[in-house]
């Protein structure tokens, strides 16, 4: 069997620099921070940083001007990486959505019959807090309340085994509430179906509950695919 080629440290650091440039929204002609600043910001060694900068310079992405600093010469290498990252994130979220749809769909089905008034009150509370947070421009809190709404449904299923399985994959599920693609409002179009889902659980209507849940999943899937 052919051995897998290990990534050189300079390649890993070069990827970190690309990510930094993306996050800082730097453009062609912009100057990078000094070596000392990058070492501190990226928490890497000077020699590794210099090798990575030389690698990016050889790729035509950066230009080093003696006495002036390091400048972005061409954004194409960065755009290629960004497109690759977006496609990877899409693939991950769509695959995770399939698992989430199966597990959460079962939780909804069980919650319709098993949810107590306290469970329903919790769902209602988190949904109202979600709306209030959106109106107040508190996006991070809104995403948290949306996640708590779904967690309340899991608990309302009253099935410890199902809750345990969902807990085991929660880190993956959490990415849906962690501003995927850097867009905090990407899944807002699914909100109306949350209201109908809550009402269906409140009135113990399994058909309407599952229909509303699948509408949420459909909306989420469309939002991911349309990025």
Q: Which domains does the chain have, with CATH numbers?
A: 9-74 (1.10.10.10), 87-225 (1.20.120.530)
Closest CA to 227 of 172, 165, 179: 179
Flag whether pLDDT at 5 surpasses 60.
Answer: no
Residue ranges in 72-190 assigned as alpha helix (H): 76-114, 117-135, 139-156, 160-168, 170-173
Q: Which residues pair with 69 in a beta bridge?
A: 65
Segment 109-130 shows an average pLDDT of: 97
What is the reported pLDDT for 8?
A: 65
Segment 140-151 shows an average pLDDT of: 92
- Give CA–CA dist 82/68, Å, rounded: 28
User: For the segment 51-98, what is each residue's pLDDT rounded down to a tens digit?
Assistant: 889 888 887 888 988 888 999 887 665 554 555 555 677 888 898 899
Looking at the chain, the whole-number percentage of residues with pLDDT higher than 90 is 48
Model confidence band, residue 16 (pLDDT cutoffs 50, 70, 90): confident
Flag whether pLDDT at 1 surpasses 70.
Answer: no
Closest CA to 157 of 108, 121, 197: 108
What is the reported pLDDT for 6?
A: 39
User: For the segment 122-136, what is each residue's pLDDT rounded down to a tens digit?
Assistant: 999 999 999 999 999
Chain CA centroid to CA 59, Å = 30
User: For the segment 180-212, what is each residue's pLDDT rounded down to a tens digit?
Assistant: 877 888 899 999 999 999 999 999 999 999 999
Contact 60/14 with Cβ under 8 angstroms? no
Looking at the chain, the whole-number percentage of residues with pLDDT higher than 70 is 90
Model confidence band, residue 4 (pLDDT cutoffs 50, 70, 90): very low
The residues, ordered by sequence, that sit 6+ positions from 162 with a Cβ below 8 Å of its Cβ are 103, 106, 107, 110, 154
What is the reported pLDDT for 191?
A: 94
Lowest-pLDDT range of 160-174, 186-200, 206-220 = 160-174
Flag whether pLDDT at 213 surpasses 70.
Answer: yes
What is the reported pLDDT for 85?
A: 58
What is the reported pLDDT for 57?
A: 87
Segment 167-171 shows an average pLDDT of: 77
Closest CA to 46 of 36, 61, 33: 36
- Give CA–CA dist 198/208, Å, rounded: 10
Lowest-pLDDT range of 12-16, 117-121, 211-215 = 12-16
Flag whether pLDDT at 2 surpasses 60.
Answer: no
Helix H or strand E encompassing 41? helix 35-42
């Amino acid at each position: 069997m052919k051995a897998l080629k290990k990534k050189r440290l300079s390649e890993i650091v070069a990827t970190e620099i690309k990510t930094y440039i993306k996050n800082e929204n730097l453009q062609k002609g912009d100057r990078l921070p000094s070596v000392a600043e990058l070492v501190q910001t990226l928490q890497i060694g000077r020699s590794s940083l210099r090798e990575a900068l030389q690698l990016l310079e050889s790729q035509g992405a950066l230009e080093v001007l003696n006495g002036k600093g390091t400048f972005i010469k061409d954004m194409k290498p960065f755009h290629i990486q960004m497109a690759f990252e977006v496609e990877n994130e899409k693939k991950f979220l769509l695959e995770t959505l399939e698992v989430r749809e199966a597990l959460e769909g079962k939780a909804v089905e069980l919650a319709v019959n098993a949810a107590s008034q306290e469970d329903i009150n919790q769902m209602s509370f988190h949904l109202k807090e979600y709306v209030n947070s959106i109106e107040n421009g508190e996006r991070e809190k809104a995403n948290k309340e949306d996640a708590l709404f779904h967690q309340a449904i899991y608990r309302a299923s009253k099935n410890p085994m199902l809750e345990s399985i969902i807990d085991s994959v929660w880190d993956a599920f959490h990415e849906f509430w962690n501003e995927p693609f850097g867009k905090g409002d990407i899944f807002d179009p699914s909100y109306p179906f949350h209201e109908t889902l809550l009402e269906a659980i409140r009135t113990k209507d399994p058909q309407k509950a599952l229909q509303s849940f699948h509408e949420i999943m459909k909306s989420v899937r469309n939002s991911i695919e349309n990025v």
